[in-house]
Structure 1
Amino acid sequence: MSGPSPGQRAPEIDAIASNGRRFVLSQQEGLCTVVYFFPKAFTPGCTAETKMFRDNYVELLLAGANLIGISTDDEKTQCDFAGSTRAPFPILPDADHKICRSYDVLWPVMNVARRITVIIRPDMIVDAVFHHEVQISRHRDDVLRHVNQMFKRARASGDAPLGYR
């Protein structure tokens, strides 16, 4: 149980998000999609992590990145959590653990997601994986650094998504 590795094909994600809209990973456009798995809504660490991503959401959007959060909580809990943290990005429920299992991020016995963040390119290939259970702010820092590097490479090569060049 270590989660996906860079270079692997990412499993599809197709679920109704906290904003009531269907989220399909393979239909996302832009530079990449940042998928952060977190253990449990409304816990101190997960609340702090979601707020950190919220506070840097515009920065990610401007670089062409999509952002979603996923935990094993149910739809109502995710809707309440997204509202309480004022998350402007979708948070997906995974009460049946299907998504977390496909990404190999479930803690055994506890059946909650490990704190793992995956950056996925539009071709559904994993570009980077970050795993820090305790150093929560490192997820945001690592993601911002990595997305910025991806953006700079895409701009230099002329491959940045339209509107981001």
Structure 2
Amino acid sequence: MKIKISYGLLLAAVFSVATFGKAHAQAEQKELAVGDKMPAFALTDQNGKRFNSADYLGKNFLVIYFYPKDESMVCTKEACQFRDSFNDFTKAGAKVIGINAGTVESHKSFTDHYKLPFILLSDPDNVVYHKFGVKNKMFMTGRQTFVVDKEGKIAFTYTAMMQGKKHADDALAFVKGHK
């Protein structure tokens, strides 16, 4: 007896298993909260240089923001707000770092297009994204900002998908209030 399975049914089954597995894994990842230690990480920046988080601990506040995609509307507004506030972040003793799964080349193009003065890191497999416990939203990687203090602990976090500009504003207000 032969069993005939349609390709559509097979694809639906595979997609269901993959989606459930991904959702289950994401549900188990713990989102970092205030007081948690920042996980150590190393990624490549928009200039092809290796960035190691350990090199910055004890020297600066780290404002680490995760965003879905270079050149998208909300992500561009968010990046430009961090750019426009960059001198204020620097004066307050903070280093701004953007992270997403985009390529080094995409980040370089995005940086050049909008004259972004801060570091953009490529996390192609979302390893650091998962270490921080950032959750996917609406079939996209999430948008979340963390401020890490000089002792390497999460001091502030902000999550909002559609308020990109507010990520920079709220992180800056926090850093200025905790110099």
Contact 2:47 2:104 in 1 (8 A): no
Equivalence for 1:64: 93
Indicate whether 1:104 and 2:104 are aligned. Answer: no
SS in 2 for 1:128: strand
Of residues 105, 110, 113, the one that matches 2:141 is 113
Indicate whether 1:38 and 2:84 are aligned. Answer: no
Which sits farther off after the overlay, 11-20 or 41-50? Answer: 11-20
Contact 1:31 1:63 in 2 (8 A): no
SS in 2 for 1:20: coil
Of residues 31, 34, 38, the one that matches 1:10 is 38
- Distance in 2 between residues matched to 1:48 and 1:3, nearest whole Å: 25
What is the deviation of 1:24? 1.4
| TM, length-normalised to structure 1 | 0.84
Specify every segment of 5 or more residues in structure 1 that has no aligned partner in the other structure, as ranges: 152-165
Equivalence for 1:154: none
Higher share of residues assigned helix: 2
Q: Relative to 1, partners in 2 of residues 1:38 and 1:108: Cα closer, same or farther, differing over 3 Å? A: closer
Question: How much is the aligned-residue C-alpha RMSD, in angstroms?
Answer: 1.7
- Distance in 1 between residues matched to 2:49 and 2:91, nearest whole Å: 22
1:44-59 equivalence runs, <5 A: 44-59=73-88
| TM, length-normalised to structure 2 | 0.78
Indicate whether 1:130 and 2:154 are aligned. Answer: no
SS in 2 for 1:52: helix
Q: Percent identity?
A: 25
- Distance in 2 between residues matched to 1:143 and 1:108, nearest whole Å: 21
Q: Relative to 1, partners in 2 of residues 1:130 and 1:107: Cα closer, same or farther, differing over 3 Å? A: same
